[in-house]
Chains A and B, each alone.
Chain A
Amino acid sequence: MKQLVLSLFGLLFTLQTQAQYKISGTVSDAAGRPLVGATVTVKELPTLGAVADTEGRYKIELPDKNTYTLCASFVGYESVSEKIAADQSGPLNFRLAERSTMLDQVVVTATRTPKLLKDVPIVTRVISEADIKQVDATHVGDLLQSELPGIEFSYSMNQQVSLNMSGFGGNSVLFLVDGERLAGETLDNVDYSRLNMDNVGRIEIVKGAVSSLYGSNAIGGVVNIISRESREPWSINLNGRYGAHNEQRYGGSVGFNQGRFNSMTNVQYTSIDAIDLSKGTDNAEVGDYSTIYGNSSFNVKERLIVTAAEGLRFTARAGYFFRERDASESIRDRYRSFSGGLKGNWAITQSDDLELSYAFDQYDKSDYLVPTSRDVRDYSNVQHTLRTLYNHTFSGKHILTVGGDYLRDYLMSYQFTDNGSHTQHTADAFAQFDWNPHRRFNLIAGLRFDHFSAANLSHLSPKLGVMYKVANCSLRASYAGGFRAPTLKEMYMDFYMGNIFMIYGNPELKAESSHNFSLSAEYLKGQHNFTVTGFYNLVDNRITTVWIQELEGQIYTTMSPLQVAGAEANASGRYACGISWRVSYAYTREMIKRGQPLLSSTRPHAATARLAYNKQWKNYGLNVSLSGRWLSRVTCDVYTEVTSYEETVRQTYPGYTIWKLSLTQHLWRGMDLTLAVDNLFNYRPDYYYSNSPTTIGTTCSVGLSLNIEQFFKNK
Chain B
Amino acid sequence: MNCKQAGLFLSGATLLLSLPACNGIFEDIYDMPTSETGNEYGFIVVDEKTRRGRIYIDATDYTEWHYIDLQGKRVTTTPVGDAAPETWDFAIHRYDTKTNGAEVWESSASVFDDLPALGIVSEEQWIADEWTTDRITVDMSQMMDGVILYAEDYWNPCLSRWLDVNTSTMPPVYTLSGKIYLLRLNNGTYAALRLTNFMNDAAIKGYMTIDYLYPVE
B117 close to chain A: CB less than 8 A? no
Q: B35 contacts which chain A residues (CB < 8 A)?
A: 419
B1 close to chain A: CB less than 8 A? yes
Q: A369 contacts which chain B residues (CB < 8 A)?
A: 197, 199, 201, 203
A367 to B201, CA, bound (A): 8
Inter-chain contact A356/B16, CB cutoff 8 Å: yes
Within B1-47, which residues are at the interface with A (CB < 8 Å)? 1-2, 4-5, 8-9, 12-13, 15-17, 19, 21-27, 29-33, 35
A499 close to chain B: CB less than 8 A? yes
A664 to B132, CA, bound (A): 63
A384 to B4, CA, bound (A): 29
Q: A314 contacts which chain B residues (CB < 8 A)?
A: 12
The answer to whether A362 and B12 touch (CB under 8 A), given A290-B168, A643-B141, A643-B145, is no
Q: A421 contacts which chain B residues (CB < 8 A)?
A: 23
A65-73, A372-380, A592-600, A701-709: which lies at the interface:
A372-380
Inter-chain contact B24/A362, CB cutoff 8 Å: yes
Q: A500 contacts which chain B residues (CB < 8 A)?
A: 140-141, 143-144
Q: A683 contacts which chain B residues (CB < 8 A)?
A: none
A208 to B73, CA, bound (A): 66
A311 to B9, CA, bound (A): 11
User: B165-205, CB under 8 A of A: which get 1 and which 0?
Assistant: 00011110111100000000000000000001111011111
Nearest neighbor of A183 in chain B, beta-carbon distance: B24
Q: B1 contacts which chain A residues (CB < 8 A)?
A: 309-310
Within A329-352, which residues are at the interface with B (CB < 8 Å)? 329-331, 338, 342, 344, 346, 348
Inter-chain contact B19/A358, CB cutoff 8 Å: yes
Inter-chain contact B22/A382, CB cutoff 8 Å: yes
How many whole Å from A140's CB to the nearest CB in chain B?
A: 25
A412 close to chain B: CB less than 8 A? yes
Nearest neighbor of A366 in chain B, beta-carbon distance: B30
B206 close to chain A: CB less than 8 A? yes
Nearest neighbor of A373 in chain B, beta-carbon distance: B31
How many whole Å from B171's CB to the nearest CB in chain A?
A: 6
Inter-chain contact A291/B169, CB cutoff 8 Å: yes
Q: A346 contacts which chain B residues (CB < 8 A)?
A: 5, 9
The answer to whether A330 and B174 touch (CB under 8 A), given A290-B169, A362-B25, A642-B144, is yes
Inter-chain contact B202/A419, CB cutoff 8 Å: yes
User: A353-375, CB under 8 A of B: which get 1 and which 0?
Assistant: 01011101010101101011011
Inter-chain contact B202/A331, CB cutoff 8 Å: no
Majority secondary structure, A binding face? strand
How many whole Å from A316's CB to the nearest CB in chain B?
A: 10
The answer to whether A376 and B175 touch (CB under 8 A), given A338-B26, A356-B9, A356-B12, is no
Within A367-402, which residues are at the interface with B (CB < 8 Å)? 367, 369, 371-372, 374-378, 380, 382, 384, 386
A220 to B138, CA, bound (A): 45
Inter-chain contact B5/A311, CB cutoff 8 Å: yes
A96 to B33, CA, bound (A): 57
How many whole Å from B110's CB to the nearest CB in chain A?
A: 12
B60 close to chain A: CB less than 8 A? yes
Nearest neighbor of B33 in chain A, beta-carbon distance: A376
Q: B22 contacts which chain A residues (CB < 8 A)?
A: 382
Inter-chain contact B176/A330, CB cutoff 8 Å: yes
Of A288, A312, A640, most B-chain CB atoms within 10 Å: A312
Q: B27 contacts which chain A residues (CB < 8 A)?
A: 377
A362 to B202, CA, bound (A): 20
The interface size of chain A toward B, counting residues with CB under 8 Å, comes to: 58
How many whole Å from B86's CB to the nearest CB in chain A?
A: 31
Inter-chain contact B12/A344, CB cutoff 8 Å: yes
Q: B125 contacts which chain A residues (CB < 8 A)?
A: none
Inter-chain contact B30/A329, CB cutoff 8 Å: no
Report which of A329, A414, A501 forms a contact with B176, defined as CB distance below 8 A: A329
Inter-chain contact B13/A344, CB cutoff 8 Å: yes
Report which of A364, A376, A384, A643 forms a contact with B201, defined as CB distance below 8 A: A376
Inter-chain contact A328/B173, CB cutoff 8 Å: yes
B142 close to chain A: CB less than 8 A? yes
A87 close to chain B: CB less than 8 A? no
Nearest neighbor of B15 in chain A, beta-carbon distance: A342
Inter-chain contact A342/B12, CB cutoff 8 Å: yes
Nearest neighbor of B27 in chain A, beta-carbon distance: A377
Inter-chain contact B174/A289, CB cutoff 8 Å: no
Q: A376 contacts which chain B residues (CB < 8 A)?
A: 30-33, 201-203
Q: A357 contacts which chain B residues (CB < 8 A)?
A: 16
The answer to whether A371 and B196 touch (CB under 8 A), given A329-B175, A362-B25, is yes
A372 to B209, CA, bound (A): 10
How many whole Å from A304's CB to the nearest CB in chain B?
A: 13
Q: B205 contacts which chain A residues (CB < 8 A)?
A: 499
A500 to B145, CA, bound (A): 11
A376 to B29, CA, bound (A): 9
Inter-chain contact B144/A371, CB cutoff 8 Å: no
Q: B204 contacts which chain A residues (CB < 8 A)?
A: 499
Q: A412 contacts which chain B residues (CB < 8 A)?
A: 23
The answer to whether A289 and B60 touch (CB under 8 A), given A342-B12, A358-B16, is no
Q: A371 contacts which chain B residues (CB < 8 A)?
A: 176, 196-199, 209
A331 to B174, CA, bound (A): 9
A500 to B198, CA, bound (A): 18
Inter-chain contact B176/A642, CB cutoff 8 Å: no
A105 to B4, CA, bound (A): 33
Nearest neighbor of B18 in chain A, beta-carbon distance: A358
A59 close to chain B: CB less than 8 A? no
Q: A642 contacts which chain B residues (CB < 8 A)?
A: 144-145
A241 to B14, CA, bound (A): 44
A642 to B170, CA, bound (A): 15
Inter-chain contact B174/A329, CB cutoff 8 Å: yes
The answer to whether A288 and B170 touch (CB under 8 A), given A358-B16, A421-B23, A642-B145, is yes
How many whole Å from A194's CB to the nearest CB in chain B?
A: 17
Inter-chain contact A158/B174, CB cutoff 8 Å: no
Report which of A344, A360, A372, A641 forms a contact with B9, defined as CB distance below 8 A: A344
A338 to B205, CA, bound (A): 29
Nearest neighbor of A639 in chain B, beta-carbon distance: B145
- The 9 tightest CB contacts between A and B, nearest first, are A642-B144, A358-B16, A367-B203, A371-B197, A377-B30, A382-B24, A374-B31, A641-B145, A344-B12
Q: What are 13 sample pairs from A and B whose C-beta atoms fall under 8 A apart?
A: A311-B5, A329-B176, A330-B175, A342-B12, A346-B9, A358-B19, A367-B202, A371-B199, A372-B201, A376-B33, A382-B23, A410-B24, A643-B142
Interface residues of B (CB under 8 A from A): 1-2, 4-5, 8-9, 12-13, 15-17, 19, 21-27, 29-33, 35, 60, 62, 140-145, 168-171, 173-176, 196-199, 201-206, 209
Interface residues of A (CB under 8 A from B): 158, 288-291, 308-312, 314, 327-331, 338, 342, 344, 346, 348, 354, 356-358, 360, 362, 364, 366-367, 369, 371-372, 374-378, 380, 382, 384, 386, 408, 410, 412, 414, 419, 421, 423, 499-501, 552, 640-644
Q: A369-B197, A386-B17 are in contact. List 4 more A-B contacts (CB 8 A).
A: A330-B175, A358-B19, A375-B30, A642-B145
